[in-house]
Amino acid sequence: MPVSDFEVVIGLEVHAQLLTRSKIFCGCSTAFGGAPNTHVCPVCLGLPGVLPVLNRRVVELAVRTGLALGCAVRPKSVFARKNYFYPDLPKGYQISQYELPICEGGAVELALDGVEKRVRLTRIHMEEDAGKNVHDVSADGSSGVDLNRAGVPLLEIVSEPDLRSAEEAVEYLKTLRAILIALGVNDGNMQEGSLRCDANVSVRRRGATAYGTRCEIKNMNSFRFLKQAIEFEVRRQVERVEEGGAVVQETRLFDPDRGETRSMRSKEEAHDYRYFPEPDLPPVIVDPALVERIREELPELPRARAARYQRELGLSAYDAGLLVADPAHADWFDAALAAAGAGAEHAKRLANWLNGDLARLANETGLAPSAWKLAPAQLAAILRLVEAGTIGGPGAKQVLEEVFRTGADPEAVVRAKGLAQVSDEGAIEAAVDKVLAASPGEVEKYRGGKKNLMGFFVGQVMKEMRGKGNPAVVNALLGKKLGD
Amino acid sequence: MSGPAPELVDLGLREAGEAIQARRASSAELTEAALARIAATDGRLGAFLAVAPERAREAARAADARAAAGGRRSPIDGVPVAVKDLFLTRGVPTTAGSRILEGYLPPYDATVVERLEAAGAVLVGKLNMDEFAMGSSTENSAYKPCRNPWDLDRTPGGSSGGSAAAVAARQVHGTLGTDTGGSIREPASFCGVVGVKPTYGRVSRYGVIAFASSLDQVGPLARDVGDAALLLRTIAGHDPRDLTSSTRPVDDYLAGLEGGAKGLRIGVPREWFQGGVDRGVEERVRAALALYERQGARLVEITLPHSKYGIGAYYLIAPAEASSNLARYDGVRFGLRAKGAAGLKEMYTETRARGFGPEPKRRIMLGTYALSSGYYDAYYLRAQKVRTLIRRDFDEAFSRCDVVAGPVAPSVAFRLGERTDDPLHMYLADIFTITCNLAALPGLSVPCGLEAGSGLPVGLQLVGRSFDEVTLFRAARALERELGPPPRPRGV
Amino acid sequence: MALTLEEVRRIAALARLSLSPEEERTFAGQLSAILDHVAQLRELDVSGVEPMTHALAGEAPPPREDVILPCLSPEEALAAAPAREGTAFKVPRIIE
């Protein structure tokens, strides 16, 4: 943890792969996986004589993202070459945007522990991804180069250095990710590398106005790594400064096994990228009519959706926030709610299941809602069973788990597991009478003021009923019999 | 000694096509004649880096079948042609005149090659050139020099030296080259053939190994203006694989060809006639201008005030773009890879050190410098601004004239080895051709006689408005009609 | 303007070219001569002049639709590879 007289300054550069069918400058598929070099053509291989041809969908998705984040969209932006040598960069340059990016300004609004914060963006630009270097492909230690990913379209989203803690950085990334998923621009799949981020981290003494020297930590693809990397880096920099030394500006990599950042050896010489406008591509002209059409077609964004859930369904800010953090979950929630009859009264319970048990199950299995065996209509059915008193909370939990794993019909599960609870007042009254008769001492104590004995009585009644008593009815009858 | 059936090799491009259609000659006969001519002459001439006889014979057979069935594809169906080794040809080695691509077999054809073959032309082989199109004499070819058919001790010019020599020596009936700073027009002038650099964007660059992306253009070389016009019409037009290719429709360059020069306003830039041109060359050029006047054209004195800055701007922009375009030659995915390298970095530096000749190295260094941090504004960016000024000069000139005329080069073909020690001296000779590339305008070289004394060919340069190749062809034809075709070169 | 040997080495490193000491000297001289000529451009007043970064006159062609087009087979992609391992290009060990 940083010494309290230091302030941390963080800016994030997020690289998001765009959900297009084909690559940015050629017609190869962007599909993930596949054996090396199975989605390549002369253009993305960087063979002699090839030329890039821009995919219009990339521009549309870039504009959509910029509008959603409140950026100014440049009517004319220019591609530029970023020149450097690396095996995964077939042309020896990356086609990116430099002086004239497609979007500028904008912001991401986030909330951390109830406190709202507005993180400004510097710019958003389009660029092509590089291929992948594979280490140790053969006994002699050689590396392999796979160019399937070379040419996949990326949006680079650059924030101003407005973040002040690792937690804020993580929350920023989570919020941005949810927005990109909701926009249909990115699939949010960090394990597969479709969303990655570089963090620029510096420290300065509290009260100082000048920025300290920053280091860039490259290529993090998990929230956990991002947090660990920043925390380590901050400690490292603070130590350096406190020793009287200086932080050297450099590029670093996070090593997840050690939980440390280390300097990238290959970057000893500062890169001179020799940017110049890409002569093979005309300037990108975005006409105002297109911008308006895209603006009109913007989907509801997580923040607005959460506000709507609170307003229309009475969900708490916390519950709503959890739901919209994953747009796929929120979509699923909407479907379940619709199947349940769309009343606000159902919303809270459904939200709790989604944010609680279902989130846990999804996490354990790594399954996205589209892959769940449990269908929204089935959750609505479970809800009906609970509201009808057929099953209680614990029973519902068991049904939910079973249906999630097998896709079986909820009512069939209730029957098979004998989960139906007893709500019949007569049966419950009989059990209550039995229990009270067997514990006269406790009854007296209760009537004398020891109200916490209710739990004991409820437990005993449940035991008598083998757990199948409808808790509400049990409580009501006990209360009546005990003279409340 | 010129091999069997000399009459066939003497036919022009259109004549050969017509002969096939009229069944006076077959594509097979023409192709065998070309192959024989090449076999008999190329040992001395050095115009070809690769000959593909079987591919050519197969194409000829198909062309003859079409002719027999009355279904010819185009006026050049069945006619033997060849292309600069800068164009990718699937399955035929493509080297760009460099060792770094020795034996490289591309997996695809350049668009212009596809269009030639779709028109039925018979591709006979790949032509010698300065390495990566960098040079003005074809002496920078990593394989062998090409010689001038008029005098084998002299260069044919460059970088499309093989393309010009092959036409002049009657090895094939037409060729394609590329022109970035004069690389079609200068060799055309030196070899006494017609060479055309179209407006930037008129012809697709897909499959053409890139030298300077904002300057390179593909163009035809042929024995006469009509043939060149026909070849251009065959290859020109938008290519969706090249976003720098224009969607403007292609004019029929043959339509107004015989329109004559009467009424044409010919701009004569004062800066192009202020010395620095050999007297014999200037004589021929002035004689051509006088001829135009007699034909009813009007000579208009114009000024291109930024003309002298063309070399400086070009030798920053072209090398800068080239330094980036040549980064892909790194030994990773294709081409030469230096053996025995200790690690990755050494693999790169050794591969490129051994694979590139001195001229590409020089230009890569120059270009890297011009783009590097701290120098970009003063060099590359400034040069691009000067480019705009040069373009404006022409725009202003074209408000008062229809074509600009002048020399192509300060001299006739020079001797092999004469300029290889002084790169700057070599560069400075580009002075007349270079501004046309910088301004992205069309230009051509048309023979305008032989230099008194040396008897070597001199070319007249004509530069036109953007996409106005029609006027260029018409003007060139007017000159050609009166002068008649140049005699056959005596060297081969 | 005279290019120092140090600058020549810096440029050669950026361009991944290994030069012999003789080449370094020769290039230093030749490049300096060329840059001297190029220095002429400084005479011009280019304030307010737009750079001609894109040479195509007139309307640029439109970008393409987002459709998947046939690609090369791995064999075709690797046909000219100097070294391969399976369907990957093989290179000396990359150290990060």
Count of structural domains, chain B: 1
Residue type, B374: G
* A307 Rama class: left (phi>0) / alpha (psi -120 to 50) / beta: alpha
Residues B363 and C31 sit within 8 Å (Cβ to Cβ): no
Model pLDDT for residues A66-90, shown as the tens digit of each residue = 999 999 999 999 999 999 999 999 9
Question: Cβ separation of C67 and A142 shorter than 8 Å?
Answer: no
| Per-residue tokens: B165 | 């020599």
pLDDT one digit per residue (tens) for chain B, 492 residues:
445 545 899 999 999 999 999 999 999 999 999 999 999 999 999 999 999 999 999 999 999 999 999 989 999 999 999 999 999 999 999 999 999 999 999 999 999 999 999 999 999 999 999 999 999 999 999 999 999 999 999 999 999 999 999 999 999 999 999 999 999 999 999 999 999 999 999 999 999 999 999 999 999 999 999 999 999 999 999 999 999 999 999 999 999 999 999 999 999 999 999 989 999 999 999 999 999 999 999 999 999 999 999 999 999 999 999 999 999 999 999 999 999 888 999 999 999 999 999 999 999 999 999 999 889 999 999 999 999 999 999 999 999 999 999 999 999 999 999 988 888 888 889 999 999 999 999 999 999 999 999 999 999 999 999 999 999 999 999 999 999 988 889 888
Sequential DSSP letters for B323-337 = HHHGGG-SSSSSS--
Statement to judge: residues A49 and A181 lie in one domain: yes
Residue C19 lies in a domain: yes
Model pTM?
A: 0.91
Catalytic residue positions of B? 84, 159, 183
**Predicted local distance difference test score (pLDDT) of residue B440:** 97
Band of the pLDDT at A473, cuts 50, 70, 90? confident
* Greatest C-alpha distance within chain B: 70
Statement to judge: residues A56 and A181 lie in one domain: yes
List of chain C residues whose C-beta atoms are within 8 Å of the C-beta of residue A58:
66
| Per-residue tokens: A41 | 């053509």
Residues B151 and B419 sit within 8 Å (Cβ to Cβ): no
Residues B114 and B90 sit within 8 Å (Cβ to Cβ): no
Task: State the count of interchain CB pairs (< 8 A) between A and C.
Answer: 130
Look up the domain containing B92 and give its range. Answer: 7-492
Residue A469 lies in a domain: yes
The stretch A361-365 carries a mean pLDDT of: 90
| Per-residue tokens: A369 | 């809602």
Model pLDDT for residues A376-390, shown as the tens digit of each residue = 999 999 998 888 888
Q: Which residues pair with B154 in a beta bridge?
A: B415
Calculate the alpha carbon distances from B10 to B30, B156, B187 in Å.
10, 20, 20
When mean pLDDT is compared across A258-267, A402-411, B332-341, the lowest value belongs to: A258-267
Q: Is the pLDDT of residue A267 over 80?
A: no
Residues B400 and B265 sit within 8 Å (Cβ to Cβ): yes
When mean pLDDT is compared across A109-118, A267-276, B27-36, the lowest value belongs to: A267-276
Statement to judge: residues A274 and A331 lie in one domain: no
List of chain A residues whose C-beta atoms are within 8 Å of the C-beta of residue B332:
87, 90, 145
Q: Does C80 touch chain B (CB under 8 A)?
A: yes
Question: Cβ separation of A272 and B332 shorter than 8 Å?
Answer: no
Look up the domain containing A440 and give its range. Answer: 425-481
**Predicted local distance difference test score (pLDDT) of residue A220:** 95
Domain boundary among A265, A291, A317: A291
The more confident residue out of B2 and C29 is C29
Report angle CA B446, B449, B455 to the nearest 5 degrees: 130
Q: Does B69 touch chain C (CB under 8 A)?
A: no
Question: Cβ separation of B201 and C55 shorter than 8 Å?
Answer: yes
Is the four-CA dihedral B204, B206, B211, B212 of positive or negative sign? positive
Which chain A residue lies closest to C89 (C-alpha atoms)?
A: A145
CA distance C26 to chain A (A): 24
* B467 Rama class: left (phi>0) / alpha (psi -120 to 50) / beta: left
Residues A458 and A446 sit within 8 Å (Cβ to Cβ): no
Q: Any idea what the CATH number is for the domain that residue B358 is in?
A: 3.90.1300.10
| Per-residue tokens: B418 | 């004469």
* Greatest C-alpha distance within chain C: 58
Residues A95 and A66 sit within 8 Å (Cβ to Cβ): no
* Alpha-helical regions (H) of B295-416: 310-325, 344-355, 358-371, 382-397
Count of structural domains, chain A: 3
Q: Is the pLDDT of residue A453 over 90?
A: no
User: CA–CA separation, B144 vs B138, rounded Å?
Assistant: 8
Report angle CA A353, A355, A357 to the nearest 5 degrees: 50
User: CA–CA separation, B185 vs B460, rounded Å?
Assistant: 9
Which chain B residue lies closest to A37 (C-alpha atoms)?
A: B333
Residue B476 lies in a domain: yes
Which chain B residue lies closest to C55 (C-alpha atoms)?
A: B214
Residue A397 lies in a domain: yes
Band of the pLDDT at A189, cuts 50, 70, 90? very high
Residue A1 lies in a domain: no
Q: Which residues pair with B176 in a beta bridge?
A: B83, B220
Q: Any idea what the CATH number is for the domain that residue C23 is in?
A: 1.10.20.60
User: CA–CA separation, B125 vs B87, rounded Å?
Assistant: 11
Residue B1 lies in a domain: no
Residue C48 lies in a domain: no
Report angle CA B209, B210, B216 to the nearest 5 degrees: 115
List of chain A residues whose C-beta atoms are within 8 Å of the C-beta of residue B106:
47-49
Question: Cβ separation of A142 and C85 shorter than 8 Å?
Answer: yes
Residue B357 lies in a domain: yes
The more confident residue out of A392 and C11 is C11
**Predicted local distance difference test score (pLDDT) of residue B1:** 47
Look up the domain containing C15 and give its range. Answer: 5-43
CA distance A139 to chain B (A): 15
| Per-residue tokens: B368 | 């890297």
**Predicted local distance difference test score (pLDDT) of residue A416:** 85
Band of the pLDDT at A269, cuts 50, 70, 90? low
Residue B351 lies in a domain: yes
- The sheet carrying A93-97 orders its strands as A93-97, A79-83, A276-277
Report angle CA A419, A425, A430 to the nearest 5 degrees: 95
**Predicted local distance difference test score (pLDDT) of residue A390:** 84
Residues A173 and A159 sit within 8 Å (Cβ to Cβ): no
Which stretch of DSSP H or E encloses residue A352? helix A344-353
User: CA–CA separation, B312 vs B292, rounded Å?
Assistant: 33
Residues A181 and A326 sit within 8 Å (Cβ to Cβ): yes
Q: Is the pLDDT of residue A266 over 60?
A: no
B476: Cα separation from own chain's centroid: 17
Residue C24 lies in a domain: yes
Crossing angle of helices B310-325 and C21-38, in 10° steps, is: 140
Q: Is the pLDDT of residue A1 over 50?
A: no
* B138 Rama class: left (phi>0) / alpha (psi -120 to 50) / beta: left
Q: Which residues pair with A157 in a beta bridge?
A: A14, A124
Q: Which of A21, A24, A37, A95 to mutate to test the interface with C (most CBs of C within 10 A)?
A: A37
Q: Which of A280, A281, A284, A285 to mutate to test the interface with B (most CBs of B within 10 A)?
A: A280
* B110 Rama class: left (phi>0) / alpha (psi -120 to 50) / beta: beta
User: CA–CA separation, B47 vs B41, rounded Å?
Assistant: 9
Residue type, A450: K
Sequential DSSP letters for B26-61 = -HHHHHHHHHHHHHHHHHHH--EEEE-HHHHHHHHH
HEC sequence for A20-78: CCECCCCCCECCCCCCCCCCECHHHHCCCCCCCCCEHHHHHHHHHHHHHCCCEECCEEC
Residue A148 lies in a domain: yes
Q: Is the pLDDT of residue A161 over 90?
A: yes
Phi and psi angles of residue A59, each rounded to the nearest 5 degrees, phi first: -65, -45
Residue C56 lies in a domain: no
CA distance C35 to chain B (A): 8
Residues with Cβ within 8 Å of A418's Cβ and at least 6 positions away in sequence, in order, are none
Statement to judge: residues A192 and A87 lie in one domain: yes
Neighbours of chain C (3+ CB pairs under 8 A): A, B
Partner residue opposite A92 with nearest CB, options B104, B108, B327: B327
Residues B84 and B42 sit within 8 Å (Cβ to Cβ): no
The ipTM is 0.97
Count of structural domains, chain C: 1
- Please, what is the average pLDDT of chain A? 92
Question: Cβ separation of C64 and A146 shorter than 8 Å?
Answer: no
Model pLDDT for residues A277-306, shown as the tens digit of each residue = 999 999 999 999 999 999 999 999 999 999
Cα dihedral value B195, B201, B202, B206, nearest 10: 90
List of chain B residues whose C-beta atoms are within 8 Å of the C-beta of residue A146:
none
Would you give the DSSP letter of residue B102?
Answer: T
Residue B110 lies in a domain: yes
Residue A158 lies in a domain: yes
Phi and psi angles of residue B363, each rounded to the nearest 5 degrees, phi first: -70, -35
The stretch A357-377 carries a mean pLDDT of: 90
List of chain C residues whose C-beta atoms are within 8 Å of the C-beta of residue B345:
16
